[in-house]
Chains A and B, each alone.
Chain A
Amino acid sequence: MDNWLFIGIFILVAGVFPAMPIIMFHLFGPKRSNPQKLETYECGMETVGETWVQFKVQYYIYALVFLIFDVEIVFLYPWAVAFDSLPLLGVVAGVLFIFLLADGLVYAWRKGALEWS
């Protein structure tokens, strides 16, 4: 329990550390604002249309593939700690699990989900 108390204090302090210079900067920095200054920066051009528009779907597909992997890898960590004391069947079962994971990657690959264009 003490460990997590330490982590909790660390989270608070880690939030305060970067916040301090930013607050100082906000208080002491010069303030000579005008509407031109706050316009969207686009190398001198005026921005056209909305910023938050539709984007390439490929980014989304990568995110989906990632999600499957990320969730399943977390399951592997407890197994990685304990596989030594398991019978052979336990080790093989873990390897089979990774194999099924790899199978998912092959499926995504054959479906063309990993192609950029």
Chain B
Amino acid sequence: MDPLAALGEWFLNLLAMINLPPAVGQILLYLIGVIVIATVALVITIFNTWLERKIAARLQDRVGPNRVGPWGLLQPIADALKMLTKEDTTPAGADKIAFNIAPILAVVSVLLIWAVVPFTSQWYGTRLNVAVLYIAAVGSFGVLAVLMAGWSSNNKYALLGAFRAVSQLISYEVPLLLSLLIPVLMARSMDISTIVEKQGTLLEMFVVAAPLAFLLFFISSVAEVGRTPFDLLEAESEIVAGYHIEYSGFKFGMFQAGEFMHTFTISALTAILFLGGWQGPLVEQFPILGLVYFMGKSFAVYFVTMWMRSTLPRIRIDHMQSLNWKVLVPVALVLLMLTPLVDFFTKDLGNLFSLFVGSPAELTLSVRAGALLLTNLAIMLGAIEVIRRSVKRATKARVPFPRRDEARPPIEEAA
């Protein structure tokens, strides 16, 4: 039996012995579960602040934090203590209520996603039948926190950051939701645990059948977090720190914690929706192995986001919008039109083939995966070709810059 379930049962029996009504016992058990999950998410976040600094340092040929504790592992605690010793300032003319609620909301919106994340086949907060819709709904009010912070600070930089946040975060919400539909389509379920269960073997992983949807989801969720290369909303060199410029100490820390947690959360969601979550070899016999697979996959995706952060420069604001509305959204729409059609027709095609060869279920699956993969690749290549052509046309229309060997037009002397 599952050790956690056994522990829960023992706790309920204990409460029954002291004559508590079972409903109260159930609520207490839920409360403990919630606190455990929230703590796990926060501890991972604290660990990640250290990991990120260490890996970013390695990628830039530095050592990173190494003074506080072994390998600098206690650095996050030192950071937290430092934040406690700062003064709590609220700028004059700020909207106090919105100003104080915003940092809390920034963490809440991310933390709530962890209520439905399946760690293993038995360990999850709760199993909602509309989990994907819940994630979309909860994740989108992080935008509200950013907007509230920027608007209430009574600062022009903060307001600019908030405007950028609105235009970026809500724009990228569209391809995010569209690509989130693809796993739902393929699993025929909005239950996130069912989506994981459908990805039992390597061939059944959704990243194999739908690599384009995986890319769309990953890119738009990185933009949704607002990390480099999409960190326009807090660009240090342009608008100083963007929406959290007027925040100090732990209030600022909550925005940082929210961002770090959000990054890991989208990594975990990518691992769940496309890489099979807790699925892996021998997971049927030892469900606890699922935790290792899930964390391994999540951290692998998380490493890629860190890698991107240390490698790519910031994208320009008009490019950011063009990338979204002129590339990601059209591609996602085409993909969404073709995926159900291909899926629908290969279902019958697989049955047809199975008249001649054995094991129909397996064959249907591989025919389906193959057809979907081909569709994805065709759309991807088509999109690249269209982009290449339009770039060519744009560069042809532009007045060419004189080359070095050509005679330059004479510079007119000032009269």
For window 227-275 of B, CB contacts with A under 8 Å fall at 240, 245-246, 249-251, 253-254, 257-258
Q: List 25 A-B contacts (CB under 8 A).
A: A2-B26, A6-B115, A7-B115, A10-B38, A10-B112, A13-B38, A15-B108, A17-B111, A21-B80, A25-B251, A31-B88, A32-B87, A38-B89, A40-B156, A41-B155, A41-B240, A51-B154, A52-B154, A59-B166, A63-B170, A77-B132, A77-B133, A80-B185, A99-B337, A102-B334
Residues of A near B30 (CB, < 8 A) are 5-6, 9
Residues in A neighbouring B90, C-beta threshold 8 A: 38
Interface flag for A46 (CB, 8 Å):
no
Q: Are B87 and A83 in contact (CB under 8 A)?
A: no
What is the distance, in angstroms, from B172's C-beta to the closest C-beta of chain A?
9
* Per-residue interface assignment for chain A, residues 46 to 59, with 1 indicating a CB less than 8 Å from any chain B CB and 0 otherwise: 01000110011011
Given contacts A14-B112, A73-B178, A102-B333, contact A62 B170 (CB under 8 A): yes
Taking the closest CB of chain B, its distance from the CB of A16, in whole angstroms, is 9
Instruction: Decide: B125 and A10 in contact? CB cutoff 8 A.
Output: yes
With A58-B167, A59-B163 known to touch, is A3 a contact of B155 (CB < 8 Å)? Answer: no
Residues 150 to 178 of chain B near chain A (Cβ within 8 Å): 151, 154-157, 159, 163, 166-167, 170-171, 173-174, 177-178
User: Cβ of A22: which chain B residues have Cβ within 8 Å of it?
Assistant: 100, 103-104, 250-251, 254
Interchain CB contact (< 8 A) of A98 among B91, B257, B321, B333? B333
Asked if B86 CB lies within 8 Å of chain A CBs, one says: yes
Q: Give the docked Cα–Cα distance between A43 and B157 (Å).
A: 10
B156 touches A51 (CB 8 A): yes
- Report the Cα distance A101→B154, complex, angstroms: 38
Decide if B154 touches A55 in the complex (CB within 8 Å): no
> Which one of B106, B107, B240, B249 lies within 8 Å of A43 (CB-CB)?
B240
Q: Is B122 an interface residue (CB 8 A)?
A: no
B33 and A6: CB pair below 8 A?
yes
Contact partners of A74 in chain B: CB under 8 A? 133
Given A29-B249, A40-B154, output 11 extra A-B contacts at Cβ < 8 Å: A6-B125, A7-B128, A9-B31, A13-B38, A17-B111, A21-B250, A25-B251, A31-B88, A63-B167, A84-B343, A114-B326
CB distance from A48 to the nearest CB of B (A): 9
Say whether B163 contacts A24, CB under 8 Å: no
Q: What residues of chain A lie closer than 8 Å to B240, measured between beta carbons?
A: 41, 43
Given A9-B30, A21-B250, A81-B188: A37 in contact with B163 (beta carbons within 8 A): no
- Are the CB atoms of B157 and A25 closer together than 8 Å? no
CB of B358 within 8 Å of the partner chain = no
Least distance between B45 CB and chain A CB atoms (Å): 11
